[in-house]
Structure 1
């Protein structure tokens, strides 16, 4: 059926426009030609890309020479380049600039890609060649990167069914097809629910407490819809200020319940069945492959190694965080009761009273800070930090095509004016763009035939747009978000490996957050803030008393924050470290998982799993713990910078040469110890968080 549809589409499509996607791009730095791509080009282009990739695989299999590292392992890693680039363009746009047509294409294309992936990993002849090379690895005199690639390629087959009998291979194919379609549907439902809710306020009194900029943005949205009053949405720049500052408790409740009910409303966008199906398919897949659970399968290729170690890690942290969290919650509850007579603190009260308490304790709030964090200046600050640490310069380019007018493109160069990367920045919410913030790649770095192909990296966020009277001003949390994603971007930009599958962020999942989380530390340092924290009207540098209070408040309610983060990781492991077939009701299951971490009363209308995109659509299944795991790494690593100076060139070079440029070429603990001189200690994190 799919083949007939594709053939029909191919006849209808202009061959030349389709070839735009499957030929070398005739653009500056080989960047994606977004403006020349039509939606109808994608399906035939994927067909062509898959055919080209299959031909490359067939050539490896048909080679009558003895299998070698070069003619088998290297050739395999460099195969499928056209398909990889096409996939990165299409699926990145499906997250940042999607529409009904693209979502429909994604549903058609994903099973084809899943099938193609299985055609490779379940290809017995190809695996026999890979195995022949692997079996002689000790005599091949490979360098560390080559040895890692060989190990990764072999495991890519063995961990995905190459050793299975044919009947089980067929089962695996069907599971993978269903998983790809169901995960896509899950994400589409979350996006639809996010964009389907609006809180329309007519009475100006209901705006009490809200920041002027948030009110102005809501008025602007209402005007754009030719409506009176103010419109608030579940997009983060609208939702977060509302639940943090709105004095109207009932409206905060309405917003919070709407956000927590995404995918849990028994409507056409309900995700309950999708969640149960994804969890079961992942478990079934692991069982077919001989693993106890999906978590056992995933964690075999992580620093954590197995679910037991993750659970021990979470239990140890919870033991240290819970007493602090309970004290903080009691303090917050007492504060809310004294201030407003609140007898029971609810989830829609948390952000509101936390902000009020923080103001009282530190005389500091986001509205005082935001004028010092104009988006453009913060971005320039991140660029300057990268320049001081790694010698990078960022110059805006007007010759690089982009997928939306709000995207800004940059040429990133080193001190010798060589191109390091192309950088795309996409900062504002809009229809067709999912919530949150992420880094991604449109082209990987690799070295082939003496040419170092440089990467094309993008960060995508959802910040408040400029209004008629104000530029885009960031909360301090948004400042750290920008630096976080920029840290991921540096990991991609500074990649310097031979093989594309080991380049940049292609590392163990519980190591990938180190470069991003360590960058957040510069946001708290006076020396770094002095580079970009200037008042947008007066150009006055941020007062030192504010900087001091930012640092003092950094560990405010850290016990509660740690427990919240751990609860997400516990839920993730609950879904994936056991047989989920006994789970019949998502809500009941979640309450069991949250039993040790729950502070607020449960909200009956809400569930987390039905919009938990990180684990049900993103790559974090059995890996959500990695945020806290990486915090241990980043606190320990930044302590090294603090000892020597936060812009110390020697430490920065060690971090670049041993972490950022190396990608996944060696085991992350080897790379970390080469940088730091020892294994990471959790003491730095516990000290920073005020938990010891």
Structure 2
């Protein structure tokens, strides 16, 4: 699938209607050669539609301007929805080459659109006359967002600034693509072969996953890759300290290996250009510019939140480091605790404190059972049902379900769960098609992509509890997309403020820990027996174990991201990173969760730049939101679930995040809810 040249004598599949089940992309009919000509036609059609709107001799109206803009990119959305999902989930050299060509073209086309003076004049005129237009609430919201988008993209600039900004945005697009492709190359190319003598301490499930990874590469024996689902448990269980060190250093050096895949120069130029972009638009720093439309609004508010968590987390982590060092010395290993030691001795400490053995626990977390648990939770909260589909998809590991609510078709959900060398690292939710009902009831096609270790053929695919939490997290994003009920694509599903978008996903994680969910779906892979209550109790009691470590590694990354974009761009990003961490008093045995050269959230594009804090901002809300259910004594309280559906999961971007949350909960929460949820003391 997707290989070989396209037969140009037949019509490009993107240029005809998709008449298959639920108008899914006809993956079996699409070749890589179809993308470039389809994009050419899409640019042509979108440009013609934009020019028609801008040059319309009729006075600007909501219908002939805003509605028309929402419908201007039909073919582009269709082609891009397939292509960019594939570049993340199943890349190859042909797609990467086209992506490098497309990134600056998209940036230039976007600049051309927002800099179109006639077009902006129509949007601007509607905006300033909005009170007299008798608009509905959703229409008014979309108009305001369009106006803000044009202004923040430079529509009001003049002279040299107006000429320079498109050059900056085009170059930033090129840099973001290069960063992500360099990172994927480093992750794809590195692996560590293990012989039978290198397996000390590894549980059977990890051996099976390492054997499967070797088979994927045509090798005998066992292989550890830079996929988190392999390297994290290897660092947790391997008794071979020298191998842990080798693997950890490779993991930490992604994007920092010199040569053609090194990302340091890309980071330096990206930070400088972002600062220039902000200055051109009248902001002191890029963080000031980026945070203005978010819930946080200012860098000061973000730093206040992060520092309220930093000091308690650092104190907890330092206390844990002392205990782990003792365990290491008891093992006869002298010297300081190193980053490649932390997970190994933390697992020993967890086993001692909670009598909890990951190898005993993992057989109860089968992938298929956890998928069913996520589905059942959605059914109990929102009345959704999931029905397996037998349809061609873009990869043999992907699978699909029709999502219904009663007799109504709600969405198609695609799950792509296993790690492979063609897939970028991490886990994410995306969509092939967004929900809208502007001129028809368009239901979404949503995809979750993960990187779980694949078991050898015939063996059950087992997850860690953290893997299961990741599955629930991404499915929370998927529900935000699939339950969307808005008119306009611009505010559909997850099209919300960056520091609000993680609320539905992080909130959904809480239901994984509901005892009756685990009792029903955490069943042993061989016997089918439910997880014993004693083991379940130990698992839940240990949920906040090592929270100092996880909070420090995350918060350090968020603080470095914020500092990079709040200060003068550094000449040497790594030196500046080290300076920031030293000033924070970073514990010596912990590293940032995402060091700068592989910080894809921040440097693969603008998405989370100055915004990595958003996971924690949303966590303040998700802790408070789930507390609402706990206060009723029913984690599936129907009245609260209905409010959650109406104000959070189905609302898209109908209103500002603070207003949506307040409509659900009554008021905004304070950071205390987060600290309590993480088992950390209040900040002094």
Sort the TM-score into its range (normalised by shorter chain): over 0.9
| Counterpart for residue 570 of structure 1 | 559
Determine which of 367, 374, 380 is the counterpart of 1:382.
Answer: 374
Deviations 1:624-650 (A, max 9, x none): 000111110000000011122111111
How far does residue 15 in structure 1 lie from its aligned partner after superposition? 5.0
1:413 to 2:400 alignment: no
TM-score computed with the length of structure 1 as normaliser: 0.95
| Counterpart for residue 438 of structure 2 | 448
Q: Counterparts of 1:144 and 1:253 in 2: how far apart (Å)? A: 57
Determine which of 641, 648, 659 is the counterpart of 2:637.
Answer: 648
* Greater shift in the superposed pair: 633-642 or 140-149: 140-149
| Counterpart for residue 173 of structure 2 | 180
1:370 to 2:359 alignment: no
Contact 2:363 2:525 in 1 (8 A): yes
Deviations 1:556-595 (A, max 9, x none): 1222222221101011112211220xx2223211111212
Q: Counterparts of 2:665 and 2:225 in 1: how far apart (Å)? A: 45
1:669 to 2:658 alignment: yes
1:156 to 2:143 alignment: no
| Counterpart for residue 60 of structure 2 | 67
Q: Counterparts of 2:426 and 2:11 in 1: how far apart (Å)? A: 32
How far does residue 43 in structure 1 lie from its aligned partner after superposition? 1.3
Aligned residue for 2:400, secondary structure, equals: strand
How far does residue 248 in structure 1 lie from its aligned partner after superposition? 0.2
How far does residue 328 in structure 1 lie from its aligned partner after superposition? 2.1
Determine which of 351, 354, 359 is the counterpart of 2:351.
Answer: 359
* Greater shift in the superposed pair: 634-643 or 163-172: 163-172
Q: CA RMSD in A?
A: 1.8
| Counterpart for residue 402 of structure 1 | 393
TM alignment of 1:116-265, pairs within 5 A: 116-202=109-195, 204-265=196-257
Q: Counterparts of 2:347 and 2:679 in 1: how far apart (Å)? A: 19
Q: Counterparts of 1:568 and 1:589 in 2: how far apart (Å)? A: 13
Q: Counterparts of 1:229 and 1:454 in 2: how far apart (Å)? A: 46
Determine which of 586, 590, 598 is the counterpart of 1:598.
Answer: 586
TM alignment of 1:259-338, pairs within 5 A: 259-338=251-330
* Greater shift in the superposed pair: 309-318 or 91-100: 309-318
Determine which of 388, 406, 423 is the counterpart of 1:433.
Answer: 423
How far does residue 304 in structure 1 lie from its aligned partner after superposition? 0.3
* Greater shift in the superposed pair: 483-492 or 112-121: 112-121
Aligned residue for 2:549, secondary structure, equals: helix
Residues 586/61 of structure 1: CA separation in 2 closer, same or farther (3 Å cut):
closer
| Counterpart for residue 3 of structure 1 | none
Aligned residue for 2:163, secondary structure, equals: helix
| Counterpart for residue 610 of structure 1 | 597
| Counterpart for residue 24 of structure 1 | 17
Determine which of 463, 468, 487 is the counterpart of 1:498.
Answer: 487
Contact 1:78 1:499 in 2 (8 A): no
How far does residue 141 in structure 1 lie from its aligned partner after superposition? 2.6
Determine which of 660, 665, 675 is the counterpart of 2:649.
Answer: 660
How far does residue 392 in structure 1 lie from its aligned partner after superposition? 0.4
Q: Counterparts of 2:399 and 2:212 in 1: how far apart (Å)? A: 23
Aligned residue for 2:431, secondary structure, equals: strand
| Structure 1 residue ranges without an equivalent (≥5) | 1-11
| Counterpart for residue 623 of structure 2 | 635
| Counterpart for residue 626 of structure 1 | 614
How far does residue 512 in structure 1 lie from its aligned partner after superposition? 0.4
Aligned residue for 1:275, secondary structure, equals: helix
| Counterpart for residue 109 of structure 1 | 102
Q: Counterparts of 2:594 and 2:137 in 1: how far apart (Å)? A: 45
Q: Counterparts of 1:305 and 1:462 in 2: how far apart (Å)? A: 33
Aligned residue for 2:19, secondary structure, equals: coil
TM-score computed with the length of structure 2 as normaliser: 0.96
